[in-house]
Every structure is written in structure tokens, then in C-alpha cells.
Amino acid sequence: MPEPGECAFLERLRRLPLHPGARGLADDCAVVPLGSETLVVTHDMMAESVHWLPGQDPVDIAWKLVAVNLSDLAAKGAEPVGVLLGYSLQGGDADDAFQIGLSEALSAFSAPLLGGDTICWKGAVHGLTALGRATHLPVPSRGGAQPGDTLWVTGTIGAALAGFEALKAGDTGPASAPYRRPVPLLAEGRALAPLVSAMMDASDGLLLDAWRIAQASGARLVIDRNAVPIALPNTRRDEALRWGDDYQLLFTLPAGAALPPVPATCIGQVERGAPALVLDGAVLDDPATLGFLHG
């Protein structure tokens, strides 16, 4: 019986014939040179009760579906070209509301609809493929961190968790917006792309995503827990570091580099040693304890 879970499934997929642009399925996006341009492609799915609350406004669901995919493009410094939608029809007002949210997000981020497909299904599961154009070569990856680099994160961590709790309590206003309507940091990603040695968006939990950079780079990432800016009381710091859905940019800068050109906080450094994540001196080597994994 094959081992269950997301990580095991990905390992089996890596045995399949892969395009070089797939980057070994160890990155946020595929990167495909096409003539004088480089295409950056990503695909994310979202499901009810996993990525949004039952009964949540379809306007916000559509916005988030677009935003989380464009956040992957942001981590590559890419400029959106367009999106392909995979939508499971819900019927009636829900479909109309979803289209409203889709229009709002596509307009806000200049990412026109290219096409897609619809199905009728009793559940609510939607997917979106986002295509972008690289604005800098080489396109940043998760795998470039080197010993001596510093580790940085934009914004604050835990804002989505606070927003989720506000939404559960019935607040559909600004307090819940970080969870309902994340904003992909496209301009920040383009500004950082020429400077970083590694970059990804922090979507599944800061610790898990830092572990992914460590594994992809074959490096040891050392994080100072108290250096991470959080949007929750300090008593909930460990929870904030693992919860995810923040869509901030997590990146490394080469030793001696100038300060980043976007608001960001230095939270650690890259050291020599076996690939690992170290938090306040403790080695964290089980990804299942670091953030959100499917299965």
C-alpha cells in the first residue's frame, strides 16, 4: 500500500517524466522559456471547509482563489498574463456572486480570464491556473539560499488566523479581510526578484515554508522565534508561525546585500550544515508539525 499524504504523493509524482521547467516539483511554479520570454505557471485548488468556511460569501471565495494563485507568481517576480478557471457550479445566486468576486479580483490585479471549464458537482471545489511573464532572469526559486544569507519576511504573520477567527465570530468587515481577501504582493515580488537568492510565498505556515526553502536549497535555516513580526498576542506566537494563509513573501538575501526595497523583517540566517530548520536552537525535522499539509 503506498504511503498516504501530500509529501508521499509528491515523491511518487517526481518519478514521472518531468519537464525541466517543473523544477523537480519543488517550487511554487513551473518556469518555461518561450522564445524571448519566460512563462511562469502555477495552479492551486480550494475546497469548502478546507480553504473557506461553509456558507462563506462566494464573492470572497472567488477573490481568494485568484489571489492565492497570483501570490505564487509574486514569489517568482512575475507579471500576470491571465488565468484559467476550473469551477464546480453551485447553482443560483452562488454562481452569480462568484462571478462578481472573480471580476473584482481579475480587475484589481490586471489578470484577465483566458478560459477554463465548469462541472456540476455536489461539493464545492474550484481550481485556477495562473500564467505570468517573468520580469527577471533567473526566476527566483526556493532552492538558492546559501550559507551567510539572511532570511526575511514581509508584513506580519498570523493576520489570516486573526481574520479567520473574526469571520467565525460573524465579522465580515476589515477584521476578517486578511483571511477572506488576501492580497498577492506582486509589486513587492518584482522589486525583490533581482536581489534574492531564494523566495517563496508563506502560504502553509511560516515554519513549514522555511523548512521547504531549507530542503530545496540543501541548507540550514536558523530562525529567531521572537524576531518574527506577528499579528496576534505573543502567547499565540507558535500558533501564528504554523497556521498559514498569510501570503507574505519569505526570502533570503546574499551576505552583505543592501536592505530590501520593500517593508520586511530579518528573522534569521542561512548556515552550513545538513538541510534543516532550526528554531531558537531546536532542530525541527517533521514537516507535519510545522504547518498545513493535505492528508
Tens-place pLDDT, residues 206-257 = 999 999 999 999 999 999 999 999 999 999 999 999 999 999 999 999 999 9
pLDDT band at 292 (very low <50, low <70, confident <90, very high): low
pLDDT digits (tens, 9 = 90+) for 26-67: 788 999 999 999 999 999 998 888 888 888 999 999 999 999
Q: CA of 209: how far to CAs of 63, 120, 160, in Å?
A: 23, 34, 16
pLDDT at residue 11, rounded to an integer: 82
Q: Is the pLDDT of residue 21 over 90?
A: no
Buried b (16+ CB within 10 A) or exposed e, 112-149: eeeeeeeeeeeebebbbbbbbebbbeebbbbbbbeeeb
* Mean of all residue pLDDT scores within the chain: 93
pLDDT band at 4 (very low <50, low <70, confident <90, very high): low
pLDDT at residue 53, rounded to an integer: 86
For the entire predicted model, the pTM comes to 0.93
pLDDT at residue 294, rounded to an integer: 45
CB distance 146 to 29 below 8 Å: no
pLDDT at residue 25, rounded to an integer: 76
pLDDT digits (tens, 9 = 90+) for 112-153: 999 999 998 777 889 999 999 999 999 999 999 999 999 999
What's the CATH number for 150-289?
3.90.650.10
DSSP state of 3: P
Place of cell 519566460: 38
Instruction: Summarize the confidence of residues 62-87 as an average pLDDT.
Output: 97
What's the CATH number for 6-134?
3.30.1330.10
Alpha-carbon gap, residue 228 to 208, rounded angstroms:
14
Enumerate the domain spans of the chain: 6-134, 150-289
Q: Which of 26, 1, 31 is nearest to 14 (CA)?
A: 26
pLDDT digits (tens, 9 = 90+) for 168-189: 999 999 999 999 999 999 999 9
Instruction: Out of 6-15, 43-52, 85-94, 260-269, pick the least confident.
Output: 6-15
pLDDT at residue 28, rounded to an integer: 86
Instruction: Summarize the confidence of residues 158-171 as an average pLDDT.
Output: 96
pLDDT at residue 293, rounded to an integer: 57
Q: Is the pLDDT of residue 261 over 70?
A: yes
- 3 state SS of 142: coil
pLDDT band at 1 (very low <50, low <70, confident <90, very high): very low
